[in-house]
Chains A and B, each alone.
Chain A
Amino acid sequence: MADSFPSFFETLKQHGLVLKRKPAEILQINLGRLCNQACKHCHLSAGPHKRDIMNRNTMDEVIDFAQRCKFKAVDITGGAPEMNPDLPYLIETISSVADQVMLRSNLSALLDYSHDQLIPVLKKNRVILVSSFPSLNPAQTDSQRGIGVFEKSIEALMLLNRQGYGMDGTGFLLNLVSNPSGAFLPSSQKALEKRYREILKKKWGINFNNAYTFANVPLGRFEAWLQQSGNYDDYLTLLYKSFNPCTLPGLMCRNQISVSFDGYLFDCDFNLAAGVYKAFEKTHISQIRVSSFDKDPIAVGNHCYTCTAGTGFT
């Protein structure tokens, strides 16, 4: 980390702030780092050669845990969750436990891995799709996510629209997520959504519900790229200088908790990537009986400057 500015912990102290949890409402389940893509901005360094995926036994423990702690919503992520053969089982089972299930999809994996079997399961359980779509420009998308990804993403979005996802009145929600293609902050969510809606409709007839922008987190493969390209110090300084204390109440680590592919708890997916356990203590979900985690301390590191930059990213 760049040492030309105070640590995130110090900055919180300077502002007289303490980061503590509210009752946990969302359980984020990371199914592991196996992915069909190897994106340059990936904080988890996920890719086709990673072999850590959640097995059925851990999945059952996660489902029990979700039931015990009564999470309102579940957010399934990876890697590419579609590559886990037990994903349909997880969705079917956990849908009876949580009111809302979200699935993060990189779109190309949805296209490549049995979408004909998976999409009916998603629709039956009203799963909200949160899909990566970094840019309207093929070159920017492909340089971040791999050659041919833009074309596949468009194909997948058209398929989802045909299935009712992103279409008015169906209730099948399709949300898009854009990460910048490099060491700079994302555009405003409102401006990006407006432009995406206009261009996607005009060029490809594609509809979606919401678009979100997330800043890239200086961990994993993105951190390596920052170092290699000589952008590391400037990017960290940019995040630090964009620190906005008003973002703290809305940070995802306040009301969300993450579980790794092997069943351990983390304050967020970024701490999971950094290997920093929830409140710095290695705890397996099977050790937790019933808890809302209210007022628990939150483990922080300098990568936390990402979520507090500008208007914040959650």
Chain B
Amino acid sequence: METYYNPADLLKFNNIGKDVPELAKKFFEYYGAVFLEGELSEREKSLIALAVAHTIQCPYCIDAYTKACLEKGSNLAEMTEALHVVTAIRGGASLVHGVQMRNVAEKLSI
């Protein structure tokens, strides 16, 4: 195997239900329901999914939700802005721990 990730594998996602069908059925029903239009539009949900996909760095999800975002009418600027939102939160989450670092350092320092 040249790589752990193969784009064709995304189409085999359903196979996950082969040995434990009840749980897979519940998961896929839930998954389908989540992405239906509710208070948020399908377009907005796809943008969230795309952003989260980058945070968890899932190549399958990035592939699928890039296409979904385009199909739901989003443009590249919107999609890029969504990535900046999660990047800011991710970066911010690291940086805010600097407070903890400072607390420790200041307590130890004269």
- Interface SS majority for chain B: helix
> Which A residue's beta carbon lies closest to that of B70?
A184
CB distance B70 to A191 under 8 Å? no
CB-CB under 8 A for A186 and B71, given A139-B76, A139-B77: yes
- Known A-B contacts A191-B43, A195-B43; the reply to A185 vs B71 at CB < 8 A is yes
| Distance from B64 Cβ to chain A, minimum over Cβ atoms (Å) | 12
Q: Which residues of B contact A209 (CB under 8 A)?
A: none
Whether a CB of chain B sits under 8 angstroms from the CB of A135 is yes
Distance from B28 Cβ to chain A, minimum over Cβ atoms (Å): 18
Is B67 on the interface with A (CB-CB < 8 A)?
Answer: yes
A281 to B78 Cα, complex, angstroms: 48
Q: Contacts of B41 on A, CB cut-off 8 Å?
A: 191, 194-195
Known contacts A137-B77, A191-B41, A182 near B70 by CB under 8 Å: yes
Contacts A191-B42, A191-B43 known; A180 to B70 CB distance under 8 Å? Answer: yes
For B72, the chain A residues whose CB sits under 8 A away are 187, 191
Query: In the complex the two chains form, what is the Cα distance from A136 to B73 in whole Å?
Result: 9
Decide yes or no whether A140 CB sits under 8 A from chain B.
Answer: yes
CB distance from B62 to the nearest CB of A (A): 15
* Residue contact B75 to A191, C-beta cutoff 8 Å: no
Residue of A nearest to B42 (CB): A191
Cα A184 to Cα B70 with chains together (Å): 7
A33: shortest Cβ distance to chain B, in Å? Answer: 28
Report whether B71 and A140 are in contact in the complex, using a CB–CB cutoff of 8 Å: no
For B67, the chain A residues whose CB sits under 8 A away are: 184
B41 — nearest CB in chain A belongs to which residue? A191
Interface residues of B in 75-93 (CB under 8 A from A): 75-78
